[in-house]
Amino acid sequence: MTLVEILVTIVIMAILAAGLFTVSNYMTKQSDIEMVKAEFTIIDAALEEYFDFYGKFPDPNADSEYDAGCDDIERLYYKLTLAPEAKATINKLDASLLQDDDEDGFIEIIDPWGTELEYTYDAVNGDNFPTLRSYGPDKETGDADAKDMDDITNK
Ligand SMILES: [Ca+2]
Ligand SMILES: [Ca+2]
Ligand SMILES: [Ca+2]
């Protein structure tokens, strides 16, 4: 082979490698998005079962049962485990999505990017079902901001 042929071969291989890298990044992102959607399906089912058991959805607001270090998503997981069917359902989540990163004994429900989910439910202002939000691949959110463009919710 001449030097030119070798160089052309190297360039072609580099282009192919870059293409494969882009495709595999895209596919990882798509499979993470599918994973978070499947995660919401499981949590929604657990919320329905909690509702069947208690006649209401878990209240995300702090109450005296929990210390101040227990945040919304920790409280949600804990409360779901109080209703037997909801507990069985929520524990079907992949173990990688149930973590106690701050080691306070309360499990956090996280998304495939390692960020805690956000749980909101405001029955007084007309919410008929709780909202779960993943901050998406950028791990950040912000109202009317580019950061929430890739957010994913259960709605
Ligand atoms: Ca905590
Ligand atoms: Ca914790
Ligand atoms: Ca985001």
Q: How far is the CA of 70 from the centre of ligand 1 (A)?
A: 4
pLDDT reported for residue 145: 77
Side-chain-facing half-sphere of 49: CA atoms under 13 Å? 18
Q: How far is the CA of 68 from the centre of ligand 2 (A)?
A: 12
Q: Could you list which residues have their CB under 5 Å from ion ligand 1? A: 69, 102, 104
* E strand map for 11-150: 98-99, 108-109, 118-120, 131-134
The model carries a pTM of 0.85
Q: How far is the CA of 9 from the centre of ligand 1 (A)?
A: 54
Ligand with the closest atom to the CA of 106: 2
Collapsing DSSP to helix, strand or coil, 122 comes out as coil
Query: CA 88 → CA 5, 38, 61, 106, 118, distances in Å?
Result: 62, 16, 24, 17, 21
pLDDT reported for residue 59: 83
CB 109 within 8 A of CB 117: yes
Element (H, E) at 152: strand 152-153
Q: How far is the CA of 134 from the centre of ligand 3 (A)?
A: 7
* Per-position pLDDT tens, the chain of length 155: 789 999 999 999 999 999 999 999 999 999 999 999 999 999 999 999 999 999 999 887 756 566 666 788 999 999 999 999 999 999 999 999 999 999 988 999 999 999 999 999 988 888 899 999 999 999 999 877 788 889 999 99
CB 151 within 8 A of CB 137: no
pLDDT reported for residue 144: 74
